[in-house]
Structure 1
Amino acid sequence: MSVQFVLDAAGKQTAVLVPIREWERIQKNLQKPAAAKKAVASGQADKERFKEEFREAVREMQLVKAGKQQGRPVEELLAELRELPNQDA
């Protein structure tokens, strides 16, 4: 690999010339961690949202069991589930 440095009039390095194959390799390696980090962050957000929704469902069931809230019809639950985005896509 023959990397070349570009210098200004004062001799300070201002740029680097990298062979295209090396540049493509660098870009590919740089994209991997970013994509992995994004996937982890997205998965973590989904996990947190699921946990919060599950907590809310448990609270709701406890209120129904204690007679402090009326239960919802199963048809309402099924309609709500049909509106969820398809996670297989």
Structure 2
Amino acid sequence: MKPRVASRASTALLFALLLISSAQSFYLPGVAPRDFSRGDPLPVKVNKLSSTKTQLPYDYYYLKYCKPPKIVNSAENLGEVLRGDRIENSVFT
């Protein structure tokens, strides 16, 4: 019986170590990590507006939101283009 208990304990320990290691690491493709300190400006980007009533998305500034003086489109990757995302700057920081 002792070898069976040791086998269960080692299996549980291995499983716990796998859970701990996977919780401490992750990878987001195409996103580089960036650190911010207190007081640093944090630029806020906006995307399209979707509705529960219609299938067509609206441009974010189609409605009367606070528009920035100049709208700048962010660089898009292929995934954003295929999803129809149009990432733009906002007046919020």
Normalising by structure 2, we get a TM-score of: 0.34
Q: Which of the pair has more CA radius of gyration?
A: 1
Higher relative contact order (CA closer than 8 Å, sequence separation 6+): 2
Q: Which has the higher strand share?
A: 1
**TM-score, normalised with respect to structure 1:** 0.35
| Greater fraction helix | 1
